[in-house]
Structure 1
Amino acid sequence: MSSIPFFGQIKISDEAYTVYQKIPQEKIYVHYNSNFLLTGESLIYKIYCLNTSTYLFSDFSQIAYIELINANKERVLKQKIRLKKGIGQGDFFIATDLPSGNYKLIAYTEWMKNKNSFYEESINIINPFTQKIATDTINSKNSSILKKDILPLTTKNGFLETNKIHFSKREQVTLNFNENLINRTSGNFSISVRKTMPNVSSEKTTPLEFTQSENHNKLENHNSENKIFLPELRGELIQGKIVALDDEQSIENKAIGLSIIEKNGIYKIVNTKKDGTFYFNLPEEYASEKAIVQILESNKNDYKLIISESKSLDLSSLKFSAIKTNSQINKSIRERAIYLQVENAYNELHQDSILPPKQVESLFKNALINYKLDDYTRFNTIKETTVEVIKNTWLTKEGDNYTFHVRDNNLHTNYQTKPLVLIDGYIINNHNELVDFNPKLIKQIAIIRNKYKFNANIYQGVISVKTFKGDYTPSSNEKSLSITLFKPLPIKKYYSKNYTNTDLKRVPDYRTQLFWNPNINLTEKNITFFTSDVTGHFETILEGFTNDGKPIYEKIIFTVK
C-alpha cells in the first residue's frame, strides 16, 4: 500500500513551454493567529491565493499546501487545503512532543513550485514542559509588553473599533465596523482576537508589506529541460503511469479506473497518454481515507501500475535563528502554560465543529432507474435478483466468467459493449465479483440504460449498486493498487464562547484566543464575542484583500481587567 502525495513533473515541448511562461503566476499570503505558540496550542490560518501581477484573487489553483519546517529543514507537518476563488482555511495542533525552536511556516500551490516560490514566515514554538530556553538579560524597561499609557486604540484605517477600551472578565465585546469605509471595501477578510505576548518573535508580515516585498515578487524560473509541475485546476490531482512488463505491449490509451468507496462513492475513468502517464482530477469532497486504482484492461496483468510521488521544494534559502527570552517572557510562558492545561482539560466542552463533506451528485441522476431491494421479494443470489427484480438487465456466461448486459431505451440488445458496473463507487472490472456478492448487503441497485462515454471508453448503460454501509471490500483476486489519500482539510466552524448560556458559569475559562473567524462579512454592522478569565492586553487584527487587489490590515487593542 502506498501513502504518498500524488504529483510529478511532466516534460513539454518548446512551443508549449513558451505558452506556459506567459500564464499568470500565483503567490500566497497567510493570515495566522500567532507566531509565538506553546506546544498544546493550535495555529489557525487563512490562505489568500493571489495573482502575482494584479493581486486579485486567483481562481487558477484549487488546492494549496501549508507546511511547518524545523531548523534542520525537515517537514514537521503538511496539510492540503481546498481553495475556492483563491481562499482556503485550516488549523493544526502543535504536538506536545515538538521541541522548542524557531520554525518556518510555508505555503504554496503546485503551480508555484515551478518558480520554487512559497510564502514564508517564522514561527517560534516553546515546549514549556520539556526544555529550558536560553535567557537574555533584558531590562524590563525595554520589554515590548504594552503599558497602559501607550495603549493604542486603533490604527489609521478606522475600519474597526470596540464599544469601549476596558472590559471585565467574561464580558461581551462588540466590534463595530465603520459603515462609510466598509461600503467601499468589498473583498475577503479574516479576524483574530488574541492576548498579546512579550515579543520573542519579530512582527508578522502584514498584507501591505507582503505586496511590497521583493522576495515575494521576484519569481525566477526554477525548472530545466522544459519540465513543469501541473497546476491543480479542477481539484486534487492524482498522477501515475503504467509500465509494460513486455516491451511489445503498448502503454498508450489504456483505461485506468480510480474508486473511492463510500456511501456516495466516487469513480473516475481515464486513459493513458503515449508515455503511459495518466491523471485523475478530484474536485469532489469525500470522507474515505483510501482510494483504489486499477487497470481496466483484459490484459491488465501485463502491466505494472505506479503512482507518482511529490517533489519537494528547494528550501535551502531558509534561515533560522535561536529563541532567547528574558525573565518577564518566561513568567508569561509559565502563566500561559497553566492556562493551556486548564483549557485542554475542558476541551470537550468547546470543540470546533467540522462541516460534513458536500454530497457528490451522480452523473446519472436524471437517468437512474432505482430498485430499492427492500421493496421487493429478497432473493438469495444476485442471479435471481437480476432475473426477478431488475428489468432490462441480464447475464451471460462464457466458461466460468459472467457478464452483465443492459438493454438500451430502444430495446436493442448489445452483447458486444459491456455496461459500467459499480459497487459503492468501486469499478467492477470482473463481473463475477457482483455475481458472487451477497444481495442481503445491498440497499439498492440503480440502472441507466443510455450509452455512456468516459474519455475513450464506451459503456452500454450503468449498473450502480449501493450497500447499506457503503463499505464494499473488493475481491483480493483483482489486481489493483490501494493508496492512502492525502485528504484536504475539512472546513470547520470555530467555537466561540457565549455567556448568555448560564451552564458555562462554573466552567473555568482561560482562553487566550478569544475569537477567530476566517470569513468576516464586513457588510454586517458588528460582531460580538466574550472575554475569558484571562486578564491583560488583547489585540484584534483584521486582514484581507479587496476585490480589486488592495491589501487591508488593521489592529486595535483593548484590555481585560
Structure 2
Amino acid sequence: MPVFISRVFFTLLFLVPVLLRGQSMPSGSGPVQSFEQYRQQTLQEKLFVHTDQAFYLTGETMWFKVYYVDGSRHQPLDVSTVTYVELLDKEKKAVLQTKVALNPDGGNGSLFLPSSLNSGNYLLRAYTSWMKNFSANFFFEKTLTIVNPFKPLGLPLLREVPEYDVQLFPEGGNLVQGLASKVAFKVADASGRGVTVRGWLLSGQNDTLARFTSHKFGIGTFSVTPSEKVPYRIVFRDGQGRTVTRPLPTIYPQGYTMRLEESTGDKLTITVNTNLEGSSLVSLFAHTRNEIKVAEVRPIQRETTFSIDKKTLGDGISHFTVFDAQGKPVCERLFFKRPAQPLAIALKPDQPSYASRTKVTLDASVATAAQGRQANLSMAVYRLDSLAETASGNLLSYLWMTSDLQGHIESPDYYLQPGNEGVALATDNLMLTHGWRRFRWEDVLNSPAPGKKQSKRPFTPEHNGLLIHGTISDSLTGRPIPNIVTYLSSAGKPVRLYVSRSDSSGRIRFEMQDFYGARNIVVQTNPQDSLYKITIANPFSSTFSTTRLPALSVSESKTSQLLNRSVAMQVQATYWGDRVIQYQYPAVDSSAFYGKPGESYLLDVYTRFPRMEEVLREYILGVMPRKKQGHFRLYVPNEPYRTIFEDPSLVMLDGVPLFNMDKVIEFSPLKIKQIDVITNQFFIGPALFPGVISFMTYKGDLAGFPLDPRLLKLDYDGLQLQREFYLPRYDTPRQPTSRLPDGRTLLYWNPNLKTDAQGKGRAEFYTSDQIGTYVVEVNGLTADGKAGSQHTLFEVKNSPK
C-alpha cells in the first residue's frame, strides 16, 4: 500500500478517540467524514428483480418487478430513471434486452420468451447507467431455467467421475508458519451445489492431523498450526466414496492471522497473532456497507485482542480489516448480523382450497404500518410443480446478504431463518468462504476531498429519462470532430426534437424524455457533411461478471409435467391471445416541444393549393419564402419587432429537421395537416433558432418525404411500454360454465400492491382449470428501507359436479 495511504489511515484513526465501540460515532470525526464523502461521491445503487417464477417455457411471458435502493441503507432511491434488463445465454450473449422506467417505487416490465430460445439456464441481469462505471459483478443477477418444449432438451451426458470445485479459505486471508489458524473449505459440483463430504488433513508421512466433515451446503472448517517444512494435503470423500485431493494453501514464513469468535454477552472477540519481531501496533477497522462502526488501535507483541459489542455493528454484513503499523491491510474477515426487524409480511387466503374458476381473496398485511410505514409489495401466484428447483427470489436475503458477497450463494434464504446453532454455524462458514465485493480501501482513502477535482465517470445517472450517446468523427481518419451541433428526432406525435453539441472528444448526448416503445430515430448535422460519421452507442453493458451458469438439470422423467404445462400454455395462446396482449400507455405531455405556437394553421379549413409555395404565401402569415442564389429559404418575422430574421428558421416535418427548402417547396401540401410557426428566437439545448416552422402530416410518418441520404436513420428501442396482466373474471353464474378453456398456471401478478395506512393490502383473482398446489410469493419494501419476503400455499381442486 502506498505510504500516503497509511498516513491518511492513521490520521483518520487519531482524529477520533482511540477506542470507538458501543456508541454512535461522531458525525464530524475524520473516518465518518471520509466515508460519507466516499459514499456520496461513489453512490452505490442496488437493484433486485422479483420475477413471477424461476422456470419458464418458451411461449410464456416473464413478468418482473425492479426494486431500486441505495446500496448502504437500502432506502428507495430517486436518482436513476432507467434500468437495463438483459437475458444472457451460457456464452454470455444477450438473447433479450429491454429498458424499464424507474421511479422511487421501482419499475416493472415483462419479456416474452420466443420459441427461438434453446432449452437451458439463462442469466437475468439488471443495472443502471451509473452502475456501468463499476464492475459487472455489482449488477443484479439471477439464474432462470427456460425449456423449449418444441426442441429436444439436449441434456449433457452424466460424467462417471464428477468434477468438484474445491476451494480453501484461511481465516483472515493467509496461513502463517507457527500460528494456529482456521481454514474454511467449500466443495461444490459443476452446478454450484454444495456436496456433503468428509475430510482429512494429512502430513507428508500420511499422518492424520485433523478429521472434519462439511456442515451445510458443502462448507466446513478445520484447524491447523502450519509448518513451512511440512508438505500438507487434504483429502475429501463424498457419499459415494469418490475422493478429491488438494494441497494446503501457501504458508508464509511471517505475517499476521486473525480469529473471530462470538463470546457471551453479545460480544465479538477478535484475536490478532503475529510472528514478526518488533511489532508495535495493529489497528482494527470495521464498517457495515461503507458506514464505519469500529476504529481501534492496539499495541501487539505476539498477540492482542479486540472486544466488540455486536450492538455497535449494523444489520447485515460487516467487514473487519486489520492494519499493521505501516497502515497496510494484513487480515480481513466478514461477520453477518441477522436483521433485527425485517419487514414482517403476513399472507392469509380466505380459504385453504378452492374449486376451479372461483374467486380467491388474499389479504396481505405488514406489521410496521402501525408506525406509519406503508409498504410497496410485489406478488406472484403460480402453480407449484417439481420443474422449478428454486424460488423466484427473496428481496430480504438479496439486500442483506447476496448483494454484498462474491460468488454464488446456495439457498441464501436459509441464513435469514431465526437464529439457532446450526444456522449460526452455517452463516459463519459462509462468511469465511465468500469475500466482500462492494468496497476497496484504496477507493475510499484515495477519494478526492470536497472541492477537489474528481476523476470523471464515463457514464452518468439518467436523472430525467433515457440518454442516447454517440460520437461524431471524420469518416476518413476516424478523428473525433468537436463543436458540431447535432439533431436527433423521431417522426411521430408528439413532436420532439433533441439537440447536442459534440465535446472535445466528439461525443454527443441526447436526453430523451417520454421516449417509449420501438422508434425510428434520425440523427443529423447542419449542414449535412459527407465527411462526418455519426455513431450511436449501444446502451447495454459490454462487460460481464464472473458468474458461471450451471448445466441444465431438468430430467427427462419430467416429460409429462412439461407436456401438461406446454399444452396449458398453448391453450392460453390460442383462445386468449388477443385479450392478454394489452399495453398501458404512459401519460405524457402531448404538446410539441415548443409548447403553444404563436401561429397554428389547420390546412383543411382553407382552399387547397397544389403547390407548397402558394400555401405559404397565401395563408401562412408568419412564413416568408425567399429565393437566394436559386434556392428557396424560409424566414419568419422577428416578433414583436416587425422585422425579418436575417437567418433562415428551423424547419421540421413531423419533428425531423429539414435543411433543403427546395424539397419542402416541392412536397405536396395535400399531405400536410397542420403548420405551426414560432415567430421569435427559440432556444433548445445548445442551439438558438431564429424562429421555428413545423409541418405535420396526418399520420406523423413523414408521408414519404425524401430525407437526405447522408443522415443516420436507425431503429431504436425506448423505454418499455408496460404490458397489462390479464385477469379473467368468473363473477356471473354463466361465466364459470363457459366452454372456453382456461389453462393459466400463473394466476396473479401485481408488481405494485400498496398497503394502506393500517398496513393492509388485498389481492383478488380467479382460479383456472389447472388443479394443483399454488404458491403465493411476496416481496416488499418500505420507504425507510425495511425489506421483507413471505410465501404461502393453497390448493385448487376440481369443481364439484
Same fold (TM over 0.5): yes
Distance in 2 between the 1:477 and 1:331 partners? 58
Q: Indicate the SS of the match to 1:289.
A: strand
Are residue 500 (structure 1) and residue 731 (structure 2) matched? Answer: yes
Are residue 257 (structure 1) and residue 276 (structure 2) matched? Answer: no
What does residue 201 of structure 1 align with? 389
Distance in 2 between the 1:156 and 1:284 partners? 34
What does residue 452 of structure 1 align with? 682
Q: 1 or 2 for the larger relative contact order (CA 8 Å, sep ≥6)?
A: 1
Distance in 2 between the 1:310 and 1:92 partners? 18
Deviation at 1:508, TM superposition (A): 0.6
What does residue 715 of structure 2 align with? 484
Distance in 1 between the 2:572 and 2:480 partners? 61
For 2:398, give the aligned amino acid. F
Distance in 1 between the 2:683 and 2:744 partners? 56
Deviation at 1:351, TM superposition (A): 1.1
8 Å CA contact retained: 2:611, 2:669: yes
What does residue 475 of structure 1 align with? 706
1:314 aligns with one of 543, 554, 560: 543
For 2:684, give the aligned amino acid. F
Distance in 1 between the 2:490 and 2:598 partners? 20
Q: CA 1:323–1:415 in structure 2 vs 1: closer, same or farther (change >3 Å)?
A: closer
Distance in 2 between the 1:156 and 1:89 partners? 21
**Which protein is bigger by CA-based radius of gyration?**
2
Deviation at 1:327, TM superposition (A): 7.4
Are residue 219 (structure 1) and residue 448 (structure 2) matched? Answer: no
Pairing 1:50-89 to 2, within 5 Å after superposition: 50-85=69-104, 87-89=106-108
What does residue 94 of structure 1 align with? 113
Q: Indicate the SS of the match to 1:440.
A: helix
8 Å CA contact retained: 2:516, 2:719: no
Distance in 1 between the 2:682 and 2:752 partners? 41
Deviation at 1:234, TM superposition (A): 2.2
Distance in 1 between the 2:360 and 2:142 partners? 30
Are residue 544 (structure 1) and residue 780 (structure 2) matched? Answer: yes
1:276 aligns with one of 503, 506, 510: 506
- Computed over aligned residues only, the root mean square deviation of the Cα atoms, in angstroms, reads 2.9
8 Å CA contact retained: 2:50, 2:65: yes
Are residue 345 (structure 1) and residue 574 (structure 2) matched? Answer: yes
8 Å CA contact retained: 2:772, 2:796: yes
Q: CA 1:512–1:409 in structure 2 vs 1: closer, same or farther (change >3 Å)?
A: same
Sequence identity percentage: 28
Q: Could you state the TM-score of these two structures normalised by the residue count of structure 1?
A: 0.86
Q: CA 1:388–1:104 in structure 2 vs 1: closer, same or farther (change >3 Å)?
A: same
Deviation at 1:353, TM superposition (A): 1.5
Deviation at 1:57, TM superposition (A): 1.8
CA deviation digits over 1:185-212, x for unaligned, max 9?
4242211110112264234431110111
Deviation at 1:493, TM superposition (A): 1.9
Distance in 2 between the 1:54 and 1:169 partners? 44
Q: Which moved more, 1:436-445 or 1:180-189?
A: 180-189
Q: Indicate the SS of the match to 2:458.
A: strand
CA deviation digits over 1:519-559, x for unaligned, max 9?
11222652210001111111111212111111121211111
Deviation at 1:85, TM superposition (A): 2.8
Q: Indicate the SS of the match to 2:577.
A: helix
Q: Which moved more, 1:535-544 or 1:94-103?
A: 94-103
Q: CA 1:131–1:251 in structure 2 vs 1: closer, same or farther (change >3 Å)?
A: closer
8 Å CA contact retained: 2:497, 2:593: no
Pairing 1:158-557 to 2, within 5 Å after superposition: 158-178=345-365, 182=369, 184-198=372-386, 200-213=388-401, 215-216=403-404, 218-219=437-438, 228-244=458-474, 251-286=481-516, 289-297=519-527, 300-310=529-539, 312-325=541-554, 329-348=558-577, 350-357=579-586, 358-472=588-702, 473-477=704-708, 479-500=710-731, 502=734, 505-523=738-756, 525-557=761-793
Q: Could you state the TM-score of these two structures normalised by the residue count of structure 2?
A: 0.61
Deviation at 1:322, TM superposition (A): 2.3
8 Å CA contact retained: 1:284, 1:360: no
Q: Indicate the SS of the match to 1:131.
A: coil
For 1:346, give the aligned amino acid. Y
Unaligned stretches of 5+ residues in structure 1: 1-17, 137-154
Deviation at 1:338, TM superposition (A): 2.3
Deviation at 1:26, TM superposition (A): 0.9
Distance in 1 between the 2:403 and 2:625 partners? 65
Distance in 2 between the 1:511 and 1:245 partners? 54
8 Å CA contact retained: 1:191, 1:518: yes
Distance in 2 between the 1:180 and 1:26 partners? 27
What does residue 196 of structure 2 align with? none
8 Å CA contact retained: 1:134, 1:325: no
Distance in 1 between the 2:561 and 2:597 partners? 64
8 Å CA contact retained: 1:68, 1:104: yes
Q: Which moved more, 1:214-223 or 1:24-33?
A: 214-223
What does residue 52 of structure 2 align with? 33
Distance in 2 between the 1:340 and 1:411 partners? 68
For 1:50, give the aligned amino acid. V
Q: Indicate the SS of the match to 2:560.
A: helix
CA deviation digits over 1:429-470, x for unaligned, max 9?
222232121111111111111211223322122111111111
Distance in 2 between the 1:57 and 1:340 partners? 36
CA deviation digits over 1:108-151, x for unaligned, max 9?
11211222221111111222332245799xxxxxxxxxxxxxxx
